[in-house]
Amino acid sequence: MPGVVVDHLVAVLVLGGLFVAAVVAVPNAVYVGLLGVDEQQLRNVAGEALKAILLGEGYPANWGSSSYFDVSSVRRFGLALSGAGSLYVLDSDKVERLVVGNPIGYLEYARAKELLGLQHYGFSIKIAAPFKVAIKALSSGDIYTLRYEVKASLENGKPVPNALVKGIIVYSKYEGGSGEDEKYSIHLVSAQSTTNELGKADVVCKVGTTYSDIIALFKTTVSDVASFVFYRSSPWPSNIATINLVGDEVILTHPKSDPNDNRWIENAAVLTDEELVGIFNGTKYDALNYGSNVLWSKSFRGLKSLNTVLLIFNINAVEKYSGRKGILVVGPYPNNLGDRVVQYGGFPQGATVELHATVVISGMTYIVTFTFWREA
């Protein structure tokens, strides 16, 4: 008799287990499977959208290259460089149109979604350097000797050893005169080092003279992939001028600020993926002010073909609380941070997928992070 009871109990437990599996486990498995299918579908749409952005030129093919940018003139959205001959080479002018707040015009996110046919989806784009470079000024005990610690790391924080670090120190030097006749020249010195097993390198440069303003540029190279970072120890001179670049044309705009004294453009240099090249020496007619000269522009033939990474302008201006001096202004933003696009697009809602691609802009390698989601 006890054996029969045990048999009945076992049968009840088995049937109960089958019931639980039928009403809970199997539906859960189906639900998880459906979620997987839904995520894969989202990933597929994201992949097609990213291909259209990075491999398509858009229409017209040079839609980002007009200094008088008209959003309505863009009929198709794509960032590829026309006639590049290789995949994933992007047009720097088009990429600049993704910099929100660009004073010479940018493509609104809503318009980009419309052009891509993504009314029921959202996305964001970030275009950043392939690895991070952090700079710290160190004491050298000599005002004419500058010492910096450069630390290279991957996105996950892992150090990058054996990276070649080239430091380019650019400084503005007072040459004489006063007021509008005050003259400043631009100079540079360089040095290089290699990161150790902790991803750190010491770079030491001797300036050997007094200077009005000084900045440091660092090019860190690993297996032919490089990252540029700009550093200055003094406060950022954001109220002097804003640098914009479209094709071969450089446009300086005057941010309304105090003081509003005249700003004379003394000289300028361009940082390419290989070197720093002087391109301009100004006159007293090359000026910015918040009046008749709120904008200064000049075309430099062949500038875009130089693979311009950064522009450096030496400007004779009055800096608040310190008087008139030669001030070095670097741009365009966010190139001076080492990146190309900090954030363009919307903000994620619900489940997202994230895709990555390696691209080339002005001869430099960058990583595109593309975040994509379905909107409610």
The closest of 267, 122, 107 to 186, measured between CA atoms, is: 267
Average pLDDT over residues 102-130: 93
> Residue 184: its pLDDT value, please?
93
Q: What is the pLDDT of residues 273-322, one digit of tens each?
A: 778 889 999 988 899 887 778 889 999 998 888 888 889 999 998 877 77
The pLDDT mean for the chain works out to 85
Q: What is the pLDDT of residues 156-187, one digit of tens each?
A: 889 999 999 999 999 999 999 887 788 999 99
Is 183 within 8 Å of 113 (Cβ atoms)? no
pLDDT at residue 105 greater than cutoff 50: yes
> Residue 213: its pLDDT value, please?
92
Q: Which of 63-67, 108-112, 188-192, 235-239 has the highest mean pLDDT?
A: 108-112
Distance of alpha carbon 361 from alpha carbon 340, whole angstroms: 9
The closest of 160, 230, 229 to 201, measured between CA atoms, is: 160
Q: Binning pLDDT at 50, 70 and 90, where does residue 28 land?
A: very low
Distances (CA, A) of 202 to 157, 165, 220: 19, 9, 12
* Token pair listed for 265: 């453009």
Average pLDDT over residues 333-345: 90
> Residue 94: its pLDDT value, please?
96
pLDDT at residue 233 greater than cutoff 90: no
pLDDT at residue 234 greater than cutoff 90: no
The closest of 71, 106, 75, 152 to 246, measured between CA atoms, is: 106
SS3 sequence, the chain? Answer: CHHHHHHHHHHHHHHHHHHHHHHHHHHHHHHHHHHHHHHHHHHHHHHHHHHHHHHCCCECCCCCCCCCCCHHHCCECCCECCCCCCCCEECHHHHHCCCCCCCCCCCCHHHHHHHHCCCCEEEEEEEECCCEEEEEEECCCCCCEEEEEEEEECCCCCECCCCEEEEEEEEEEEEECCHHHCEEEEEEEEEEEECCCCCEEEEEEECCCCCCEEEEEEEEEECCEEEEEEECCCCCCCCCCEEEEECCEEEEECCCCCCCCCEEEEEEEEEECCCEEEEEECCCCCEECCCCCCEEEEECCCCHHHCEEEEEEEEEEEECCCEEEEEEEEECCCHHHCCCEEEEECCCCCCEEEEEEEEEECCEEEEEEEEEEECC
> Residue 24: its pLDDT value, please?
46
Among the ranges given (15-19, 65-69, 126-130, 182-186), the one the predictor scored with the smallest mean pLDDT? 15-19
**Domains along the sequence of the chain with CATH:** 1-124+343-376 (no CATH), 132-337 (2.60.40.10)
Q: Binning pLDDT at 50, 70 and 90, where does residue 144 land?
A: confident
Distance of alpha carbon 305 from alpha carbon 279, whole angstroms: 14
**Pairing label, strands 352-361, 89-90:** parallel
Distance of alpha carbon 225 from alpha carbon 243, whole angstroms: 26
Among the ranges given (22-26, 256-260, 367-371), the one the predictor scored with the smallest mean pLDDT? 22-26
Q: What is the pLDDT of residues 49-100, one digit of tens each?
A: 999 999 999 999 999 998 788 999 999 999 999 998 899 999 999 999 999 9
pLDDT at residue 26 greater than cutoff 70: no
pLDDT at residue 198 greater than cutoff 50: yes
The closest of 41, 10, 192 to 120, measured between CA atoms, is: 41
Instruction: Please give the model's pTM, rounded to 2 decimal places.
Output: 0.81
> Residue 56: its pLDDT value, please?
96
> Residue 271: its pLDDT value, please?
87
Among the ranges given (21-25, 151-155, 174-178, 259-263), the one the predictor scored with the smallest mean pLDDT? 21-25
Q: What is the pLDDT of residues 201-217, one digit of tens each?
A: 999 998 988 899 999 99
